[in-house]
Structure formats: C-alpha cells, structure tokens
Chain A
Amino acid sequence: MTLYAQSLWLIPALPLLVAGIGAITRHRGVAIAAILAMAGSFVLSCLALNSALAEPAAHTAYNFAWFDLGHGAMRLGFLLDPLTAFMCVMVTFVGTLIFIFSLGYMKEDPNFSRFFCFLSLFAAAMLGLLVANSLLLLFICWELVGLASYLLIGFWFHKPSAAAAAKKAFITTRIGDLGLLLGMLWLYNSTGSLLFYDGGHGVLEAATLASLSGTILTCGLAASTAIGLLIFCGAVGKSGQFPLHVWLPDAMEGPTPVSALIHAATMVAAGVFLIARVYPLMSADALLAAVPVHALTVVAFIGAITALMGALIACGQNDIKRVLAFSTVSQLGYMMLALGVGSWTAAIFHLLTHAFFKALLFLGAGSVIHAAHHEQDIRSLGGLSSKMKLTFITFAIGTCALVGVPLFFSGFWSKEAILHAAHGWQVSHLPFYAAVIGVILTAFYNTRLMAETFFGKPRSHAAEHAHENSSTMTTPLVLLAVGAVLLGFLSTPYWPWLQLQLDPTLEHEPASYGLMGLSVVLVALGIGAGWALYWRTTRTKASAPDPLAVRAPGVFAALAAKLGFDEFYAATFGRLNDLIAAVADGLDRWVFGGFVNLLAKLGVFSGLVNRQVDEDTLNGGFDGVSESVRGSGLRYSHAQTGEAHGYLRVMAAAFIVLALALVLGGVR
C-alpha cells in the first residue's frame, strides 16, 4: 500500500483532531485517543515512506490554492520525498512511545487530559511542518510548534520558574522567527512563490535558484545567501544554536516527557529539518567565488561553536535534565555542522539516531526522577543501578549511543558520518577540531552523569527508596533502546542505505579507518577522564565538592554558570531593553502624557467657562424672561374672578360698545 502526496494531510490531521477533542473535554480517555492517533499517524507515515522509497529522487508535490491574492493565488501544498517520510516515521514512532510513557508519568496530574491535548497539538504541528511543501505552511506549523512548546514548558504554570521558562522559550525563539519571516517575505518578493517544488517554478528548483544566486546585492552577498541566512536565523532560534540556545536548558521546567518530545522528535528537530529542506537554497551560492561569505559557512561555524559550547557547559551542570539539555544543544550543533559542511544527509541521519537515544535518555531521566520523588540533582542521587535495573540498562545504552561507543551503537555511525564530512570540508578545519574536542567532552560528561546517578551509594532519602517504575514507563524505554542500537546500521560507511535514499546523487565514499580509529581513541579518552574523576572514587555525600571543581575551580564555576550567557544577555540586551522601556515610559508619562494632560486641563477649563456662561448669562436671561412672563400671568389671572355674571357683563358692555361703534360709524 502507498500513501500519496494529496493524502499526506492525514498524518498531522489525526493528532490535531485529538487535540481538538482534548480542548473541549476533560475525560481521561483523551490520552488513549492521543496514543491511538499517533499510532495511526505512524502507520500512515510508514505507508508514505513506502511510496517515497519507490522513487527516492522524486519530490512528489500536491499543491492547491489557499486564497486568491491580487493577480494570483496564495498556494500551499504537501510534499512527499524520503526526507519528509523518514522524519514523519521518526516523529510518530518516538512520539507514540513518549505518549505511552506520559500515561505513567503524568498519572497523578490533575490536568492529565489537558497535557495530552497539548502533546497532540505539538505533534500535529511538527508533522504539519514536515509534510509542508510551502514555506508559508511550514511557517504556520513552525509557529504552532512554538505555541505548543510554550504551553507545555509552562504546563506547571503555578511554578514561577516554569512560567518564566515558557516565556523565555517563546520570546527567544521569536527573535529567530523574525529572521525567518523576513527571509520568507524577501523570498516571496523576489520569486513570487513560496512553494518548494512546483513543477519547475518552486523556490527550490533550478531556475529560481539560478536567478536568486545570480542577483548580487549592494553588500556583495548573493540574494540567495541573504535569504538563506535569514531563514537560518529561524533555525538558530528553534534548534537552540549559539547565540539563541539559552531557552533550551530552561525548557527543562516542563514535565519530562515534554523535554523528551522537545529534544528528540519535535521543536529542535524542526530547525535542522528546515535547513535540510531548504538545503538547495542554502547551497545555491556555493559555486560563486566572489561573494564575501557563503550561507553554509556561517551554518558550519555556528554549528561548531554550538557543539563545543554545549558540551563544555554540560560538564558543569548538576541537574540530570540540564546535563541532557546541554548535550542536546551540543548534538544539534553537530547536525548544523554537518549541514554547513555540505552533508545534509549525515545531519538527518544524526537527527534520526539522536531522536531515538535522546528520547530514551530523557525518558530514562524521567523514570529516575519519578522514582526518586522529583529529585533531579545528580549529587543527591546515586546507587540506582541495582534499584532500577531496566532503567539503568536502557539509560546506559542511550548514553553509549550519545557518546558514540564504537560499532554497536547508532550514535557512533551518525557522528562518524559528520566527522567524516567535517574533515573533508575545504573551507576551514576549525569546525572539525571543535567537533573532535566535543566528542571527548561528550564522553566525559556522560561518564560523569552515569557515575553520579547510578553508581556509588544513594545520597538522599529519595534515592535510597527508589524502585523501578510500572511497565507503561519501562516498555517505551526498551523499544527506544532497541532503536538506539539498530538505527545506526541504516547507514554505515559500508552500506550507506539511508543516505543514498535521502540523496541518490551522493557518491559512495569508502570508510576512513583513520578517522574511525581517531574517534575510538577520543571516546576512550573522554570516558577515561570521566572514570578517573568520578567513577574510580564515587561521591560519598551530596554536599561533597565536585572533583573537577577541586582541580579547576574557576573553570568549573564558569561552566556551572553556563558561561554566563544568561547574565550577559541580562546585562546587555536585558538592560538595553530596560533602558528603552524606561525611555518609552518617560516619553509616555511626561511628553505624550503631558500633552494629553494639557488637553484634558484645557477641556476642563473650557468646561468651566461654558458652565459659567451657561448658568449666569443664558440661564439667567431665560430665567428672567420666564419669571416676568409668570409675574404678568399672575397679575392678569386676577381678572379671572370666577363670577360668570361679571364675564357676561363685560361681554354685554363690549357688545353695546361694538354696536354703537358700528351704528355711529355709519356702517350700513
């Protein structure tokens, strides 16, 4: 069976339907409906994958007019190609498992059904983003993803920190989205279309790309470079790249399944997916020699900086979820690096494997947190390996995949592909070195995380009494662990099936044993360092200082403070914002407000004058006139005596006078 492009809307429609139902009812059955909808979407995605793999090179698009606009119509569409299909399968599979996990994790929460409503909205938005064939439709879903992440990060909104984190995530990503919006407008202005593939007229097709890269702006950049960089801004915000990564660690305030969803399947994957999707546009300027910078070079350097910085900061964190969050930042940096050095297939490969093992790690962390009564500080955990065997084993598999333990774990193969691509990049070798150091650090901090959480003695009451969770929470862990191992074999240097499906034009490069050997050495180095510092002698009590802090207090303090990005932003942009706000406030209060107050004073004054004129002059005049009328009326009323004879007498006299006048006046 196959699923064609015109039916692709069904994939996001199913979770969206459940989100709609969840919005109007509080019944707990919403959770079951959400899981069923995700499973249904998973089946549909598999069908879509089946039809996409039938002809990997084709971009099957189904476009339709949304509304008429001036001289044309605004058109949206759905796109079916291997990229979309692989991503849909991953998102729906991981999403389904996370939903099932949430069933156990959120069981006690009073807003159980609301949680599943938001989760479904999140998944629906992400799936809509994946199947979009129009940058506009993608942008709409992109913003919906942002909204859903806001709702979910702030799900426990009664905690001030969660509310602040939700706001931070929303506003920080909004900064990047402004760039995406501008890029989109620019693209529409210069091409008149936002469809990706449209039978030769789409923005990702050769004719449009040639005209875009042929237009050189006054600053020397090609138009495609400028548009590409603006679109990249959106990806920087969404995918937590330097310098907009600050929201991602704070997003840990949300419930753990949300963190898993944000870090694995949705949200941060959206940025990488966006760049992979518009990759033809990003690389359109690659052959221009004269331009000052290529769009992809910027992407590569940002990715490398992010990869290194994320790994560094992760070494100094004590919250189990924050360590994982910074590892996500770092891994996203690897993906961007892969995109930047031209191997978008390696980026998507890493995105898929990362989705599995990072979802696994987050759900494992959720399992630990749930069992340890919401104790998240690794210094207070410890000794859980014997108490939570299943969680420990699956978490260890996830860690091995993240670290890139050779040969048997998916992370090794995908990271290998990225290192390979970075090594072969002609422009600069700096990103490659950053990635290499990142590999060591990744091994180091993950060893630390494992040692602190699962080994040694329990260092708090909660950790001492932890026990394994129910099967609704452990089953997804096992399934994800299987994926975290097996997914790597989809694309090894010996059999690059996935990469060839994504991009059939790719040449098959031979395996580089030197690079593989290097990566083995690096991982061993990192694990060795971690073992020496944290595992050989495990921590004895929660308040003991960190071994790294003892050896290099300055470095550790800087890492623990996340290299001071939050403080730096607070001191610069925050203060600038405060200044502008103060100026605006002053302007509002004194200048505009003063003017308005002056007008009001004038109004009051003229009102007073009016009243005076009205009361004294006009009213006085009218009162006087009516008083005199009344007085004369009173005087005349005395003639009304009430004596009928008197009236008759007057009438008779008047008659006689009249008659005499007529007779004597000579009227005939």
Chain B
Amino acid sequence: MSPLHLCLLISTGLFCIGLAGALARTNTILVLLGIELMLNAANLNFIAFWRFGPSPASANGMIFVVFSIAVAAAEAAVGLALIIAVYRHQKNIRLQDANQLKG
C-alpha cells in the first residue's frame, strides 16, 4: 500500500466521521464541527495529491490548502456568530428548531 493510498484512506475515514456527525447531531455547534471535519478531509486530499503527485516541487497544493483553511476560519467565525444570534432569538441552538426561513 503506497503512502498515497494510506492518506486517501485516512481522509475518507475522516470525511465519513464528519458526515456522520453532521447528519446525526442536533446541536448546531456539533453539526458545524462535522462540516469542519469534512473540510479537513478534503484538505488532506489536496496535500496528499500534491506531495505524491507528478510535481511536488511547485507549491500549488499547499497554497490551495492555506486558502481553504483561511476560508474555513472565516466561515467558522460567521457560523458561530449566526449561532449566537439564533440562540438569543430562541434560547436554544437545536438545528431542527431553526427553521424560520423556510419556503
């Protein structure tokens, strides 16, 4: 088993854990955590394909990841702010209850 396969297996596991968490949890913070895990699985894929790909000398995979992490950080900040706003509004952060914006 090559290092690339290993990395992909780990990232697949990580993604599945994140997906399961996002689907199963009712606490919005935990759903957000799950989503972050899925994002990190994708980041791991970027790194792996860069490191074991045809041109590891150029830093393009690294740059993708740095961007992705920056976006994720911003997203987390916005998400947490939203969660606090929702909490103030309805005194809990259950995802099922936050359905005021539907259709």
Interfacial residues, chain A to chain B (CB-CB below 8 A): 637-645, 648-649, 652, 655
A652 pairs with B99, CB closer than 8 A: no
Contact partners of A641 in chain B: CB under 8 A: 99, 102-103
Asked whether, in the complex, the Cβ of A645 is within 8 Å of the Cβ of B102, the reply is: no
CB distance from A471 to the nearest CB of B (A): 104
- A645 touching B99, Cβ below 8 Å: no
Verify B22–A642 contact, CB threshold 8 A.
no
**17 further contact pairs, Cβ within 8 A, besides A652-B19, A652-B23:** A637-B103, A638-B103, A640-B102, A640-B103, A641-B102, A642-B99, A642-B100, A642-B102, A643-B95, A644-B31, A644-B98, A644-B99, A645-B23, A645-B95, A645-B96, A648-B22, A648-B31
Residues of B within 8 A of A655 (CB): 19
Identify the closest chain B residue to A639 (Cβ): B103
With a cutoff of 8 Å between Cβ atoms, the chain B residues found around residue A649 in the complex are: 23
Q: Mark B22-66, 1 if CB is under 8 A from A, else 0.
A: 110000000100000000000000000000000000000000000
* Contact residues in B for A644 (Cβ distance below 8 Å): 31, 95-96, 98-99
> A648 is contacted by which of B23, B98, B99, B101 (Cβ under 8 Å)?
B23
Min CB–CB distance B41 → chain A (angstroms): 12
B23 near A642: Cβ-Cβ < 8 Å? no
Smallest Cβ-Cβ distance to A633: which chain B residue: B103
Q: Which of A641, A643, A655 has the most CB of B within 10 A?
A: A643
A642 and B23 alpha carbons, distance in the complex (Å): 15
Which residue of chain B lies nearest to A641 when distances are taken between CB atoms in the complex?
A: B102
The 4 closest A-B pairs by CB, nearest first: A642-B102, A642-B99, A640-B103, A637-B103
SS of B interface (majority)? loop
Question: Please, how many angstroms separate the alpha-carbon atoms of A638 and B55 in the complex?
Answer: 49
Q: How distant is B82 from chain A, measured CB to nearest CB, in Å?
A: 12
The interface bits of chain B over 59-91 (1 if a CB of A lies within 8 angstroms of the residue's CB, else 0) are 000000000000000000000000000000000
User: What is the bound-complex CA distance between A641 and B100, given in angstroms?
Assistant: 9
Which B residues are CB-close (under 8 A) to A643? Answer: 95-96, 99, 102
Q: Given the complex, which residues of B lie within 8 Å of A639, measured CB to CB?
A: 103
Interface residues of B (CB under 8 A from A): 19, 22-23, 31, 95-96, 98-103
Q: Can you pick out 20 interface pairs between chain A and chain B where the beta carbons lie within 8 Å of each other?
A: A637-B103, A640-B103, A641-B99, A641-B102, A642-B98, A642-B100, A642-B101, A642-B102, A644-B31, A644-B95, A644-B96, A644-B98, A644-B99, A645-B96, A648-B22, A648-B23, A648-B31, A649-B23, A652-B23, A655-B19
The answer for the CA separation of A652 and B22 in the assembled complex, in Å, is: 10
Chain A residues whose C-beta falls within 8 Å of the C-beta of B101 in the assembled complex: 642
Q: Which residues on the A side are within 8 Å of B102 (C-beta)?
A: 640-643
Q: List chain B residues, Cβ under 8 A from A648.
A: 22-23, 31
Q: Chain A residue with minimal CB distance to B25?
A: A645
Chain B residue numbers with a CB within 8 Å of A640 are 102-103
Closest to B99 in A: A642
In the complex, which residue of chain A has the Cβ closest to the Cβ of B22?
A: A648
The smallest C-beta distance from B89 to any residue of chain A, in angstroms, reads: 14
- How far, in whole Å, are A642 and B96 apart by their CA atoms in the complex? 8
Nearest to B96 among chain A residues (CB) is A643
| Residue ID in chain A nearest B12 by CB atoms | A659
Task: List residues of chain A with CB within 8 A of the CB of B99.
Answer: 641-644
The distance in angstroms between the C-alpha atoms of A645 and B100, with both chains bound, is 14
Q: Give, as a whole number of angstroms, the nearest-CB distance from B27 to chain A.
A: 12
Residue of A nearest to B20 (CB): A652
Q: Which residue of the partner chain B has the closest CB to A634?
A: B103
Closest approach, in angstroms, between the C-beta of A658 and any C-beta of chain B?
A: 13
Rounded to whole angstroms, the CA-CA distance of A638 and B100 in the bound complex is 14
B21 to chain A, nearest CB (A): 11
Q: Which residues of B contact A642 (CB under 8 A)?
A: 98-103
* A645→B101 CA distance, assembly (Å): 14
Cα–Cα distance between A466 and B100 once the two chains are bound (Å): 107
Chain B proximity of A21: nearest CB distance (Å): 82
| Bound complex: CA A645 to CA B23 (Å) | 6
What residues of A have a CB within 8 angstroms of the CB of B100 in the complex?
642
| Distance to closest chain B CB from A639 (angstroms) | 8
Q: How distant is B95 from chain A, measured CB to nearest CB, in Å?
A: 5
Question: With A and B bound together, what is the CA distance between A463 and B103 in angstroms?
Answer: 106
Residue of B nearest to A656 (CB): B19
Q: For the complex, what is the distance from the CA of A333 to the CA of B29, rounded to whole Å?
A: 121
Residues of A within 8 A of B19 (CB): 652, 655
Q: How far is B103's CA from A643's CA once the two chains are assembled, in angstroms?
A: 11
Q: In the assembly, what is the distance between CA of A642 and CA of B99, in Å?
A: 4
Scoring B31, B98, B100, B102 by chain A CB atoms within 10 A of each residue's CB, the highest score goes to B102
A324 vs chain B, min Cβ distance (A): 104
- Least Cβ–Cβ distance between A392 and chain B, in angstroms: 113
Shortest C-beta distance, B55 to chain A (Å), equals 19
Rounded to whole angstroms, the CA-CA distance of A637 and B102 in the bound complex is 8
Neighbouring B residues of A637 by C-beta, 8 Å: 103
What CA separation (Å) do A308 and B95 show in the bound complex?
Answer: 122
Give complex CA distance A648, B96 in Å: 12
User: How many whole Å from A645's CB to the nearest CB in chain B?
Assistant: 6
Distance A649 CA – B23 CA, assembled complex (angstroms): 7
A336 to B19, CA, bound (A): 124
Closest chain-B Cβ to A637's Cβ sits at a distance in Å of: 4
